[in-house]
Amino acid sequence: MSFSLYHIVREPKVKKDKNPVLILLHGYGSNEEDLFSFASELPEEYYVISVRAPYDLMYNSYAWYAINFDADENKFSDIPEAQNSRDLIAKFIDEVIVNYAVDKDNVTLIGFSQGCILSYAVALSYSQKVQRVVAMSGYLNTEIATDDYYKNDFSKLRIFASHGTVDQVIPVDWARNSIPKLKLLGIDVAFKEYPVGHGVAPQNFFDFKNWLQA
């Protein structure tokens, strides 16, 4: 099996001809073990595949794209690197469908922080490849999406977005501002906030798990 991105897998407990799949995308400076830590709590019928981002930051930490600072300490994203990661993830979804017994019509991306930003970009750019997104502690950056993403058919896409109200890394307003933009595209979006910082609250995990099973 040859894959464009390194990943780890939890196979479904109940195997069917084709199983649904959850693809986990970690945040900046983390790795594939991070979100995989709650794989055992996820629904048993899913393949759970946790992916390592392509850019090595040393000491077992990785990024989907560089975050740079200018002389005034303004933070900005390396958009070409982000777009490269977007296309790598899209290609990886195709590889997963070929190499594992997964249902191509039941693909969910679960992204945290930078992984959330990439999940939005992949789902908007390649809406035929992704049916659901769990978007945690991130925001919609349409610069990372393909130029003509708004022409895509989003009728089958559903999104569960969540954010901490005291997030010190990505302000909650950025997440809030993403929701009307997604709804304008005709996407079914649920949005929840939790009284936490830049992390996944237990209630958040519980809520998105219920949303997945609804």
Does residue 155 fall inside a structural domain?
Answer: yes
Does residue 136 fall inside a structural domain?
Answer: yes
134 phi, psi to nearest 5 deg:
-105, 110
Give per-residue pLDDT as tens, 41-67. 888 899 999 999 999 998 899 999 987
Mean pLDDT of 57-83: 80
If one counts the domains in the chain, the total is: 1
How far separated are the first and last CA of the chain, in Å rounded?
33
Does residue 85 fall inside a structural domain?
Answer: yes
Give per-residue pLDDT as tens, 123-164. 999 999 999 999 999 999 999 999 999 999 999 999 999 999
Quickly state the pLDDT bin for 97 (edges 50, 70, 90). Answer: very high
Q: How far apart are CA 142 and CA 149, in angstroms?
A: 9
Q: Which residue has the tokens 């303004």?
A: 74
Does residue 47 fall inside a structural domain?
Answer: yes
- Quick one: pLDDT at residue 67? 77
- Quick one: pLDDT at residue 43? 86
- Quick one: pLDDT at residue 138? 94
22 phi, psi to nearest 5 deg:
-110, 125
Does residue 139 fall inside a structural domain?
Answer: yes
Quickly state the pLDDT bin for 202 (edges 50, 70, 90). Answer: confident
- Quick one: pLDDT at residue 72? 55
Mean pLDDT of 30-48: 89
Contact 135, 119 (CB under 8 A): yes
Does residue 1 fall inside a structural domain?
Answer: no
Q: What is the pTM of this model?
A: 0.94
Distance of CA 81 to the CA centre of its chain: 16
Does residue 34 fall inside a structural domain?
Answer: yes
Cβ count near 179 (within 10 Å): 17
For 91, the domain range is 7-213
Mean pLDDT of 57-79: 77
Helix axes 114-125, 79-99, angle to 10 degrees: 70
Q: Return the CATH number at 203.
A: 3.40.50.1820
Mean pLDDT of the chain: 92
Q: How far apart are CA 11 and CA 105, in angstroms?
A: 18
Does residue 2 fall inside a structural domain?
Answer: no
pLDDT reading at 70 higher than 60 = no
Quickly state the pLDDT bin for 192 (edges 50, 70, 90). Answer: very high
Q: How far apart are CA 78 and CA 57, in angstroms?
A: 14
- Quick one: pLDDT at residue 61? 94
Cβ count near 27 (within 10 Å): 28
pLDDT reading at 75 higher than 70 = no
Q: What is the 3-state secondary structure (H, E, C) of 34-60?
A: HHHCCHHHCCCCCEEEEECCCEECCCC
